[in-house]
A = this chain, B = another copy of it.
Amino acid sequence: MKTKTDLYLGDCTSELEKIDDCSVDLIFTSPPYADQRQNTYGGIHPDKYVAWFLPISARLFQVLKPTGSFILNIKERVINGERSTYVMELILAMKKQGWLWTEEYMWHKKNCYPGKWPNRFRDSWERLLHFTKEKKFNMYQEEVMVPIGDWAKNRLKNLSDTDKTRDESKVGSGFGKNISNWLNRDMTYPTNVLHLATECNNKNHSATFPAELPEWFIKLFTKEGDTVLDPFMGSGTTNFVANKMRRHSIGIEIIPEYYEMVKNKLQPVEPYLLDPKTKYEKAKSERRIAVR
C-alpha cells in the first residue's frame, strides 16, 4: 500500500480549496491560539478569532467525509485576568455552520509548565473538541482499549451467585452489573480524559503536542489507508504519526521554514530497517510524498 503525504505551502484558507470535497476521514489540528505565538504566526486578536476561524471551519466541513471526525485542540487564554470566551463562541458559531458538537475530550497535561500567579494555578488541561457532520460516524473503540484496573484481578477470582446474574441497582438508577461478563476480559474502554505529558524535546515549533495525542485519535477515528488532515501542520507531528500508522495525510503550513523542515524529514525514504514487530510497520510500505 502506498502511504501518501501531501504537503501544501500557503495560507490555510486558500490551500484548502485544493483538497477534494468529502475526501478526509479525520481532521486533527491545533490552530494558533489567540494572540499567542506572535513571533511566528502573527497572532490573532481574541476578539477576531471566531471571525478568522469560521471560513476555515466552513471549508473543513466540506472536505470531511460524512463519516469523518474533526478534533480541534484548543484552549482559551487568560486576558486581563479572565478566561476569554472565544472558544465557546466558536463552538456556538460552528454549530450554526452545520457541525455537530459531539463531545469534548480533555487532555490532562501531566507535566505542564511551572509558574505562579496570584489568582490562578498552572493550567494543566486543554480541550479536544470533537465535531462531526453526522450523528453516525466511524469510531473504532477497540483500537484504544486499555488494561482493566487492578481491582478486577481480585474481584474475579471468586464469583458469588449475585455475580453470575445481572444485579440491578437497588435505587432504581438504572445501573446494574453482571460481573461474570467480565470474566475473560483484561481490557476495558478508556474515558474521555487523556493523560499525556507535553512534549519535552521541543523542536523549533512553538506549540507542539505529544505524538500520542494525534496517535490516539487516528487510532480511534481512522483505519489504515484513510486520510488525515492537519490544516495547521507546524512541525508536522500529525503527519509523521499518520505516516507511521499507514494513513495518508495532508498538511498545510504557511511558514516556509516549517514546510521545508517537514518536507525534508519526509523526503529521504529510508530503507526499512525498523523492527518488523513494530506496531505500524508490519510490512514494508512505500511512501510517496507529494509536494505542491
Contact = CB atoms under 8 A, between A and B. Distances in A.
A254 interface: no
Interface in A91-135: 91-92, 95, 100-104, 106, 108, 112-114, 116, 118-125, 135
* Count class of interface residues, chain A: 35 or more
B123 A191 contact: yes
Interface in A25-51: 39
A190 B104 CA distance: 23
A85 B101 contact: yes
B81 A85 contact: no
A192 interface: yes
Contact of A191 (B39, B118, B124, B177): B124
A123 B121 CA distance: 24
A22 interface: no
The complex is assembled from copies of this chain, and their number is 2
A100 B82 CA distance: 6
B95 A192 contact: no
A204 to B, nearest CB: 12
A112 B193 CA distance: 11
Contacts of A139: 118-119
A227 B226 CA distance: 57
Given A103-B120, A114-B177, 16 more contacts: A81-B102, A82-B100, A83-B102, A106-B125, A108-B108, A108-B193, A113-B175, A116-B141, A119-B139, A121-B141, A121-B189, A122-B191, A123-B191, A123-B192, A124-B191, A125-B191
9 contacts: A39-B172, A83-B103, A89-B92, A114-B177, A119-B135, A121-B189, A123-B191, A125-B191, A125-B192
Interface of A: 39, 80-83, 85, 88-89, 91-92, 95, 100-104, 106, 108, 112-114, 116, 118-125, 135-137, 139, 141, 172, 175, 177, 189-193
